[in-house]
């Protein structure tokens, strides 16, 4: 009873750094860094594409991506990437994962 009061489960997965690392090995996986360009330039995960979630053209830029491929998103702490993951799911991306803790909790070395 009152199930309508419960928040809906996110349409994306929240993954720990270890789970996220394993998910990166999926064939065709797209790695999306949704931080600002200056943050991205300071260090990012290898192979990441930078599309700032706060940019006004975020929606049109993600529309150019293949929504059938696994899409893994991250930011600094996991908050902006959760927003981006939600937007990706609403835009029809079928398999979206968010890195819990963002790059702050990422155990591996970042590249520049």
Enzyme catalytic residues: 75
Angstrom CA distances, 55 to 31, 59, 94, stand at 18, 9, 23
Integer Cα distance of 104 and 30 in angstroms: 20
In order, the DSSP letters of 39-106 are HHHT-B-TT-EE--TTSTTHHHHHHTS-TTS-EEEE-SSSHHHHHHHHHHHHTT-SSEEEETTGGGG-
Exposed, middle or buried: residue 76 (CB in 10 Å: 0-12, 13-18, 19+)? middle
């Amino acid at each position: 009873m009152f199930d309508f009061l419960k928040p809906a489960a996110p349409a994306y997965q929240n993954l720990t750094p270890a789970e996220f690392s394993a998910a990166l090995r999926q064939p065709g996986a797209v790695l999306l860094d949704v931080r600002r360009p200056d943050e991205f330039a300071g260090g990012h995960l290898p192979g990441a594409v930078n599309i700032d979630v706060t940019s006004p053209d975020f929606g049109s830029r993600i529309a150019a991506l293949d929504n059938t491929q696994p899409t893994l998103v991250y930011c600094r702490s996991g908050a902006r990437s959760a927003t981006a993951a939600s937007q990706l799911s609403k835009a029809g991306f079928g398999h979206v994962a968010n890195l819990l803790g963002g790059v702050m909790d990422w155990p591996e070395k970042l590249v520049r």
